Structure 1
Amino acid sequence: MRSARYLTVALFTGVATLPMPMLLLGATATVAAAGLGLILLPTALLGLRRWADLARRRVGAYLGEAVPSRYREPGGRFWQTLTDPATWRDIGWMFAHIAVGIPFGAIGLIALAGPVVTVAQAALWWVLPADEPLTLLGMPVTGWGTALGAGAAQLVLCVALLLWATPALARVHARMSRALLRASAAERLAERVDALTESRADALEAHAAELRRIERDLHDGAQAQLVALAMRLGVAERTMAEDPQTARRLLREAQSGAEEAMAELRDVVRTIYPPILADRGLDGAASALAARCPVPVQIAVGPLGAVPAAVEATAYFVIAEALTNVAKHARARRARVGVRRDGPSLLVELTDDGIGGVDESRGSGIAGIRRRVAALDGTTRITSPPGGPTTLEVTLPCES
């Protein structure tokens, strides 16, 4: 039934696609007419894109896998639209859908409606006049014997079409449409290279910014403390014999300064790789972050197995930044953090019941999360409608 319905829809969409080649041809013919086609042709191709996107969703739903659209431009510009390989894929699909979708769809419609129509014909054959009898399988029906026999044979044929023929035809049509509507392997590889190049540039930029931050923290914090420590020890050494009281005070100050410098160094080290990850793992580190958050946080960490240190650290910083956002901006009453392993990937999900409406352009920290995740070839997805709830989903590959 599902395959027959898919083919029946293909029949109607194929018929609806029939005028499109003439519309495109007419728009192309007007290019030389005072440049009118420079507007009409991209508009027509934009309409074809939307029609093809509907087919992508339908084919993806039937095959159980997404068929993404990969257009270089949103449409409307003549040269960019015309030179986009996806445009020519849409045109190729248009002709193939007309040539294959209509006949296959007709078979699907016959298979879908055939059993009901056959039963109705066999039961009501006597309604037609005797000089124009009903025909079943090409045989004129003149009595109940012929009606029941030919009707049963036609019903078996329709059921056979419905159960065996339409699934095969639907698969052929869906796979053909998928092959025509999705990017080729070479194009997907080129897009992959572009994405990796961009993420590598972001990773290098983030790394450089991190080094600058560490240098600044060391210079302004621990280094200043150590310089002051050295100066106090030098003064204490010179005044030890003449003014022991002052020397003892300077030594106490030096001890306090040494403790402050150690605290500064621990803070810097913690931003490089949190020691709690080495001590307690991601489960304990996430629980510690939740305990420090002013909003009640539920932690759910499943069995993680072996997780690379870089992935573990990125997941930790994602959770830390997300909980900071919840505390500062979300006005939430509760939040939930889930961490689990899904095959070769680590999945981190944070949900809060706050006001939603996250705007990445306002320095919400999401851009930083995206850069960190992209550096490991991961993905970030955020859903935050006005009024909430907000859901952040991060996928980090754990295998090279």
Structure 2
Amino acid sequence: MGAVIGVRRRGWQAVRATGRLLLGLLLVPVCLIGLALFLLTFVSSATFIGLIILPYVVRLNRWIAGRGRRVAAGWLGRPVTAEYATIEGGVLARARIVLGDPMTWRDTAWIAGHIVTGPILAALGLGVWAALGFGPSLPIWWWAPLPEHAVYLLGFAVDSWPRVIVAVPLLVAAVATAGSYVLPWLATAEAVLTRLLLATPERVRLAERVAELTETRTAALDAHGAELRRIERDLHDGAQARLVSIAMRLGVAERMLAADPDQAATLIAEARLSTEETMTELRDIIRGMYPPILADRGLPGAVAALAARCPIPVAATVTGVDRLPAAVEAAAYFVVAEALTNVARHSAAATATVHVSAADDLLTLRVSDDGRGGADETAGTGLAGIRRRVAAFDGGTDLSSPPGGPTTLTVELPCG
């Protein structure tokens, strides 16, 4: 039973491999078009028209390479990914980007190579099936009125019915066995070659990752420095000044206590009131460093409190969130707080929603409103600060705010 299952599995693998090889063959005409257009526009890139057309041809080749990656990934069972430079800017900038992107030349090399290897591998695959189909037709070839009235297989003459009866099963079994190994090997060879050429090299990924982490670390250090300066400024200009004022009032009251008790009592009352205001201000500063509500009620309670304090109606939902690392909770709290502040100040929205969820070591925050949209990160609305704070955790920020609304801010924070 196990042998039968193994034979069926190998047969199915051979069929799948043939399908992959034929899909690769179907890409060959498109590759010819893409390569011809690229060579034509590259040669004519010395002219202004060539520079204009070149990015569009590169986009076409990226699409062709994407189809090749998809075919290879389907056979290998894992994705074949590539990272391209974003094509933007003016005519010269766009041409410089596509010509300076290493993936442009890797795509071109794969397209040129696939024009040759695609038909060869497909022909080899179809040749296996042709050899397999020759076995059952062997009696016809032998029975046909050939000059020698015999068919030779590797020097073995098939010139009688007993020899036909022996040769046909042996030929079919031999070709089927060889094909069950050869066809998957051909498909694997094509997929591996595609992955080698079309996947972004690991060294490039590591270099880009190092650059990204360096950038986010710099942003985190800048944000941390700005936060320390803000706290110092608040303490110096606020709490410290109030404490100096309290000390001065108490000193004056101490000197006036014997001569004018009523005036001294007034100064003491003012000092007490100023002390309460200073305590409130200190609590606000502490809340800006790490909100106490996070320690008391966790992120769900803190989000509910932020929604309740917002001037516009906010529907807040939190699912799958338990206690998280303190830094992640604080970052999520400030993201929601800043987002709701933006909604209240700039969106002219009637309602807003906040949804917080955690799954697979990833905390997702989504803040939406039905306002006028058109949110701009460069307009000093705090969105750039949110992005920097999230980048420090190696998270992601996505903003959708078309003119007329709605606006949706989605933030993902690793929380493992």
| Structure 1 residues 322 and 257: alpha-carbon distance in aligned structure 2, compared to 1, 3 A threshold | same
| Cα distance in 2, alignment partners of residues 4 and 335 from structure 1 | 52
Unmatched runs of 5 consecutive residues or more in structure 1: 119-135, 141-159
Change over 3 Å in CA distance of 1:303–1:206 after alignment to 2: closer
Taking the TM superposition and a 5 Å limit, the aligned residue runs for 1:1-400 are: 10-26=24-40, 35-36=46-47, 40=50, 43-44=53-54, 46-56=56-66, 59-60=69-70, 62=74, 65=79, 67-71=81-85, 74=88, 77=92, 81-102=98-119, 173-174=190-191, 176-293=193-310, 294-305=312-323, 307-328=324-345, 329=347, 331-343=349-361, 345-399=362-416
Change (3 A) 1:45 1:353: closer
The offset of 1:382, in angstroms, is 2.3
TM-score (norm 1): 0.75
1:84 offset after TM fit, Å? 2.9
What one-letter code is carried by the residue in structure 2 that aligns with 1:52? R
Per-residue deviation at 1:97?
Answer: 2.8
**CA deviation vs aligned residue, 1:230-261 (integer Å, no higher than 9, x gap):** 11001101100000000001000000011111
The amino acid across from 1:55 in the alignment is A
- TM-score, normalised via structure 2 length: 0.72
Change (3 A) 1:194 1:367: same
- State whether residues 53 and 69 of structure 1, in contact with CA within 8 Å, keep that contact through their aligned partners in structure 2: no
Cα 1:94–1:286 shift into 2, 3 Å: same
Deviations 1:4-25 (A, max 9, x none): 8776554333212114444544
Deviation of the 1:166 alpha carbon: 8.4
Q: Distance in 2 between matches of 1:394 and 1:99?
A: 46
Q: 2:303 is aligned with what amino acid?
A: A
The match for 1:143 is none
Structure 2 counterpart SS, 1:251: helix
**CA deviations over 1:242-290 (Å, ceiling 9, x no partner):** 0000000100000001111111111011111111111111111111111
- Measured after TM superposition, the shift of residue 28 of structure 1 is 5.4
Describe the superposition over 1:20-49 as per-residue Cα deviations: whole angstroms up to 9, x where unpaired.
444544555567xxx44x863784465134
SS at match of 1:348: strand
C-alpha distance in 1 between matches for 2:283 and 2:414: 29
Cα deviation code 1:30-81 (max 9, x no counterpart): 67xxx44x86378446513432245326735856747343227649546654
Judged with a 3 Å threshold, the aligned counterparts in structure 2 of structure 1 residues 252 and 79 are, in CA distance, closer, same or farther, namely closer
CA distance in 2, matches of 1:277, 1:357: 32
The one-letter amino acid of 2:57's match is: G
C-alpha change, 1:16 and 1:331, in structure 2 (3 Å) is same
Separation (CA, whole Å) in 2 of partners of 1:364 and 1:108: 61
Change (3 A) 1:20 1:219: same
Q: Which amino acid aligns with 1:248?
A: A
> SS state of the match for residue 350, structure 1?
strand
Distance 1:330 1:222, change over 3 A: same
Structure 2 Cα separation of the partners of residues 23 and 101 of structure 1: 19
| In 1: Cα distance, 2:52 partner to 2:19 partner | 33
Aligned partner of 1:132 in structure 2 is none
Distance apart, 1:384 and its partner CA: 3.0
Amino acid at match of 1:375: A
Q: Do the aligned partners of residues 224 and 349 (structure 1) sit closer, same or farther apart at CA in structure 2, a change above 3 Å counting?
A: same
Native 8 Å contact 1:8 1:106 kept in 2: no
Count of residue pairs brought into register by the alignment: 367
Contact 1:203–1:372 at 8 Å: present in 2 too? Answer: yes
How much does 1:191 deviate? Answer: 0.4
| Partner SS for 1:297 | strand
The 1-side partners of 2:203 and 2:412 are apart by 25
Q: Which runs of 5 or more residues in structure 2 are unaligned?
A: 1-14, 142-176
Larger radius of gyration: 2
The sequence identity of aligned pairs, in percent, is 47
1:301-347 residue CA offsets vs partner (Å, 9 max, x unmatched): 31435x2211111011111112222333151424132221323x322
Contact 2:242–2:278 under 8 Å retained in 1: yes
Structure 2 letter corresponding to 1:40 = G
Q: State the superposition RMSD in angstroms.
A: 4.2
